[in-house]
Amino acid sequence: MILNGKLLADKIIIELKEKINRSFLQVQRAPKLAIIQVGNNLASNSYIKSKILRGKQSGILVELHRFEDDVQQREILQFLETLNSDPSVDGIIIQQPLPPSLNIKELMNHIDYNKDADGFSNYNAGKLFLGETAIRPATPFGIILLLKEYNINVTGLNACVIGRSNIVGMPIAKMLLDLNATVTICHSKTKNLSLHTKKADLIICAIGQPKFLTAEMVKKGCIIIDVGINRLEGNLVGDVDYEALVKKASFITPVPGGVGPLTVVSLLSNTYQLYCLHNNLKFN
Ligand code: NAD
């Protein structure tokens, strides 16, 4: 069965719009997300475009602040302070990738943790790893929403996460552990990776290697979540060999139309969560 992320994203946007309309009556302003972009990366432009579009659909103002490639670290730090102290801004994100001259960690941790809509700050990452309520990184949060939508209970499942980045692999591993899955994390130095994937009931593949996961590497009936977004011969493809695996998996996400749309709506949902926090509204 195909896990349709686009369909779920559409549904979440409608629900979010209803909640925002109700909150607007009380607060008299819409939630606002500020995006900082440096340079003109084509993939970033397309992600930002969908954040702005989905923002419009849900009633969240999405403001783009673009800087030139040669911007200095301190200029962005100062700008973050302006956004931090602006009461009309609920969420702030820094679109990655950034030029190597900039220190992304310092920038992310300069965002007020109560405006950290990506949940990448040390504060929110720390809370997630301590099992406390936190702003959750959008991609793993979206994956959990998708599993729930299709009533996939991960309790006791052998989950194999391939990739250990701070934005996908590590947080999704922790979220699955919190849902009582038994989690194995594989990465570029893992030996005999197939040994792990063949045992898995659920595989999350987030490495950025086109069609890396093949049919021979998985058992029949496993659940496959493909996080990868790669360009191959002019097409967008994931990290898994979808055509081969769609016949072998019990559930699988397509690329595009799987995890990607949920990343965007989870980010907007995080922004609404912060807006609720800033305005003493109940978030649900
Ligand atoms: P990253 O480059 O930060 O991390 C990649 C991870 O994959 C590393 O931990 C590395 O050890 C592992 N890895 C690399 N090659 C490997 C191999 N051959 N075998 C096993 N492990 C290997 O990447 P990221 O930011 O986590 O993103 C991963 C992919 O997910 C990329 O394609 C990215 O574009 C995509 N992505 C998609 C979304 C979405 O919304 N769908 C969001 C974030 C990232």
CATH level 3 topology of 28-112? Rossmann fold (3.40.50)
Rounded Cα distance, 205 and 258, in Å: 12
Residue 150 to residue 247: CA distance in whole angstroms: 18
Give the global pTM: 0.96
Give every CB contact of residue 19 below 8 A, 6+ residues apart in sequence: 272
Radius of gyration of the chain from Cα atoms? Answer: 19
Judged by DSSP in three states, 9 sits in helix
Residue 209 CA, ligand 1 centroid: distance in Å: 8
Bridging pattern class, strands 158-162 and 202-205: parallel
**DSSP class per residue in 113-165:** GGGBTT--SHHHHHHHHTT---PPPHHHHHHHHHHHHTT---TT-EEEEE---
pLDDT at 148: 98
CA–CA distance, 210 with 187 (Å, rounded to integer)? 15
**Integer Cα distance of 175 and 225 in angstroms:** 14
Which residue minimizes the CA distance to atom 41 of ligand 1? 260
238 has which bridge partners? Answer: none
Ligand 1 center from residue 180 Cα (angstroms): 24
Domain 138-260 is of which CATH architecture?
A: 3-Layer(aba) Sandwich (3.40)
Same CATH fold assignment for domains 28-112 and 138-260? yes
The string of pLDDT tens digits covering residues 163-183 is 999 999 999 999 999 999 999
Distance CA 275, CA 271 (A): 6
At 284 the pLDDT is: 76
Residue 266 contacts residue 138 (beta carbons within 8 Å):
yes
Q: Locate tokens 């959750």: which residue?
A: 136
- Output the pLDDT for position 282: 92
pLDDT below 70 — which residues of the chain? none
Residue 142 is predicted with a pLDDT of 98
Exposure string over 225-249, b if 16+ CB within 10 A, otherwise e: bbbbbbeeeeeebbbbbbeebeebb
pLDDT in tens, 185-213: 999 999 999 999 999 999 999 999 999 99
- The encoded tokens of residue 117 equal 């809509």
What is the 167 CA–ligand 1 centroid distance (Å)?
9
* Positions marked active-site: 51, 95, 118
Which atom, in ligand 1's list, is nearest to the CA of 47?
A: 40
Query: Which residue ranges have their beta carbon within 6 Å of ligand 1?
Result: 139, 162-165, 167-169, 186-188, 190, 193, 206-209, 227-230, 259-260, 263
Residue found under tokens 């305005």? 279
3-state SS assignment for residue 30: coil
Q: Where are the domains of the chain?
A: 28-112, 138-260
Identity at 232, one-letter amino acid code: L
